[in-house]
């Protein structure tokens, strides 16, 4: 496409806006040439936790991790555009400008294409939704939803999400900063980061309480009244959804939030949002585009997954809509864990979106309680609410506990564990996916796999000086090589090991290393095993 032309998509949209006005656009850039950043120095643009996540999962830091070239941003500013957000993954920026400037912007040598994403200027305010609720008097309001997928047993085993970072993308978190069920999050400083991508500030505690309800299922905790599934986790809250309108800009807000969460070291993203139709008809998707490759938000979710983040998303509530029925984006993503909606007795809700995806893959992936789920509203009361919005955070909480117990899993391995240990794993369908997951089922599945692993690394955490690497069968695995690196990616030891039946253990001397987290990778002829080693 010539640099003097706008995308066809933009031209179609502009028919609706014949008179000049200020709108919001995504500008896609040509490259990252001349950037001052380097993949050899990732600490410039990624947190230690983000680097550690990539290292643990064997994910290389590449050009997509590099920030947008700041000189390109300056050129757009000089052309008269106001730059709001930048996407390193898609090499794009969100701008606001008068449409009369578009021809000049499109002819800049750094610009690949331009897309209209919302009419008008950036929102400066927003409308608030009512927070009136009825009180649910059940002290054990959350018992049924926890029990169905084994979150009660997970907590009994001591896994409540400690040190697992969860990001929630939603439309508002009213009351989280003032009501009793969320007070432990505040007093223990476990809301690490907040940002409102719609209004460009850090106050997410307004406008709507949909995010409040979603967060409560994972993180609320008021003894005797309400128990969230992983209520000791760390949280990052992002407002990406504008409750007053529906335009494609919200998909890009999702993208910007995912990049912010990635850079800040998030392990899990919960997205109780779905996209298929918009206020501007020319932005609408059709069912054939739910193929895991087309929708902006799905591509963003896939990019997040490629960085080692587990994306858990609501399947959608379109099951009774004859014009749609199937899952909505980003639930159509291949590496997105899409969650459908059942009652506490495991009966599927007729409104829960179904599969397959447009390219024939089974969706949803698994199911959790979303019929009459107990949630906390903005005024702190516990009510019952229904929809896949509330089944998704159930599985996000389950994922947090499983990852806490089995930290060496990659995000894609964790998805497979959840699928393969669910109730319908042997005969999945497009109504219930792989069925209903359960903490104990996943643990049993993983422990059986672990017993078959040919290598053992212990003790971990390490209080002494020597870490032992043992093979279970020198005949099957006579040699391995290893690499030990810091959480910043610096190699501190590497070597090869020869095993025999007489000497099937190797002691790795860590006496010269300081207290901290290290990543040990063992390489066999055809496999890789990665361990997070903690030296106390």
pLDDT tens profile 230-250: 999 999 999 999 998 999 999
Query: Above 60 in pLDDT, residue 8?
Result: no
Same fold, 8-32+68-118 and 143-449: no
Q: Would you kindly state where each structural domain of the chain is located, as residue ranges?
A: 8-32+68-118, 143-449, 455-535
Maximum separation of any 2 CA atoms in the chain, in Å: 83
Q: What is the mean pLDDT of the chain?
A: 91
Alpha helices in 57-98 (DSSP H): 70-78
Residue 449's pLDDT is 63
Q: Is 289 exposed, middle or buried (0-12, 13-18, 19+ CB in 10 A)?
A: middle
- Long-range contacts of residues 130-133, Cβ cutoff 8 Å, at least 24 apart: 131/174, 131/175, 131/209, 131/377, 131/378, 131/379, 132/379, 133/377, 133/378, 133/379, 133/381, 133/383
The model carries a pTM of 0.83
Structural domain 8-32+68-118, CATH architecture = 2-Layer Sandwich (3.30)
Residue 189's pLDDT is 97
Structural domain 455-535, CATH architecture = Sandwich (2.60)
Tokens of 99: 């449409």
Residue 500's pLDDT is 80
Query: Above 80 in pLDDT, residue 122?
Result: no
533, 508 Cβ separation under 8 angstroms: no
Q: How far apart are CA 397 and CA 168, in angstroms?
A: 12
pLDDT tens, residue by residue, 313-352: 999 999 999 999 999 999 999 999 999 999 999 999 999 9
Q: What is the DSSP secondary-structure string of 256-308?
A: HHHHHHHHTT-SEEEE---BS--SSGGG---GGGTTTTSSHHHHHHHHHHHTT
Confidence of residue 13 (pLDDT cuts 50, 70, 90): very low
Given CATH 3.40.50.200, say whether it is the number of domain 143-449. Answer: yes
Query: Above 50 in pLDDT, residue 185?
Result: yes
pLDDT tens, residue by residue, 40-83: 999 999 999 999 999 999 999 999 999 999 999 999 999 999 99
Q: How far apart are CA 188 and CA 289, in angstroms?
A: 43
């Amino acid at each position: 496409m010539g640099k003097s032309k706008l995308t066809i998509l933009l031209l179609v949209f502009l028919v609706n806006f014949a008179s000049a006005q200020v709108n919001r656009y995504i500008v896609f850039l040509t490259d990252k040439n001349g950037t001052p950043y380097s993949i050899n120095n990732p600490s410039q643009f990624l947190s230690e936790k983000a680097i550690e996540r990539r290292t643990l999962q064997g994910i290389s830091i590449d050009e997509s991790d590099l920030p947008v070239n700041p000189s390109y941003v300056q050129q757009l500013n000089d052309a008269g555009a106001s730059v709001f957000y930048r996407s390193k993954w898609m090499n794009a920026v969100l701008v606001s400008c008068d449409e009369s400037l578009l021809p000049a912007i499109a002819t800049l040598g750094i610009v690949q294409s331009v897309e209209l994403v919302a009419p008008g200027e950036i929102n400066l305010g927003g409308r608030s939704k009512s927070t009136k609720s009825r009180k649910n008097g059940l002290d054990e309001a959350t018992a049924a939803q926890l029990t169905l997928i084994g979150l009660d047993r997970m907590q009994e085993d001591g896994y409540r999400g400690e040190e697992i970072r969860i990001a929630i993308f939603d439309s508002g978190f009213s009351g989280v900063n003032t009501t009793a069920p969320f007070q432990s999050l505040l007093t223990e400083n476990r809301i690490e980061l907040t940002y409102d991508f719609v209004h460009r500030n850090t106050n997410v505690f307004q406008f709507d309480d949909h995010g409040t309800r979603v967060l409560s299922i994972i993180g609320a905790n008021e003894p005797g009244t309400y128990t969230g599934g992983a209520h000791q986790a760390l949280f990052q809250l992002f407002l990406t959804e504008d409750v007053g309108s529906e335009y494609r800009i919200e998909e890009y807000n999702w993208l910007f939030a995912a990049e912010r969460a990635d850079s800040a070291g998030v392990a899990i993203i919960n997205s109780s949002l779905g996209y298929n139709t918009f206020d501007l008809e020319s932005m609408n998707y059709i069912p054939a585009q739910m193929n895991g490759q087309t929708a902006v938000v799905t591509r963003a979710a896939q990019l997040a997954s490629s960085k080692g983040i587990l994306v858990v998303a609501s399947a959608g509530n379109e099951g009774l809509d004859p014009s749609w029925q199937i899952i909505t984006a980003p639930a159509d993503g291949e590496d997105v864990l899409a969650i459908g909606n059942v009652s506490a007795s495991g009966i599927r809700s007729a409104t829960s979106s179904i599969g397959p995806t447009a390219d024939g893959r089974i969706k949803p992936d698994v199911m959790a309680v979303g019929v009459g789920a107990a949630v906390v509203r903005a005024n702190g009361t516990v009510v019952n609410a229904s929809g896949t919005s509330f089944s998704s955070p159930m599985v996000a909480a389950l994922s947090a506990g499983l990852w806490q117990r089995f930290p060496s899993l990659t995000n894609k391995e964790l998805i497979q564990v959840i699928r393969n240990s669910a109730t319908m794993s042997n005969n999945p369908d497009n109504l219930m996916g792989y069925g209903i997951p359960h903490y104990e089922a996943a643990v049993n599945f993983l422990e059986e796999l672990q017993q078959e692993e040919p290598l053992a690394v212990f003790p971990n955490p390490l209080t002494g000086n020597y870490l032992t690497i043992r093979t279970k069968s020198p005949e099957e695995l006579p040699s391995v090589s290893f690499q030990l690196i810091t959480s910043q990616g610096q190699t501190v030891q590497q070597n090869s090991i020869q095993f025999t039946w007489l000497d099937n253990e190797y002691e790795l001397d860590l006496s010269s290393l300081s207290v901290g987290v290290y990543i040990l990778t063992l390489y066999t002829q055809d496999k890789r095993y990665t361990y997070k080693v903690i030296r106390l």
